[in-house]
Amino acid sequence: MTDRTDTPDTAAVTTVYKVSGMSCGHCEGAVSAEISELPGVSSVKAVASTGEVTVVSAAPLDEEAVRAAVDEAGFELVGTV
Confidence check: pLDDT of 27 > 70: yes
pLDDT cut 70: percent of the chain above it: 88
> What domains, with CATH codes, occur in the chain?
12-80 (3.30.70.100)
Which long-range CB contacts under 8 A does 37-41 form with residues at least 24 apart? 37/1, 37/2, 37/69, 38/65, 38/66, 38/69, 39/2, 40/4
4-8, 13-17, 39-43: segment of lowest average pLDDT: 4-8
Read off the pTM.
0.86
pLDDT on residue 11: 80
Confidence check: pLDDT of 73 > 60: yes
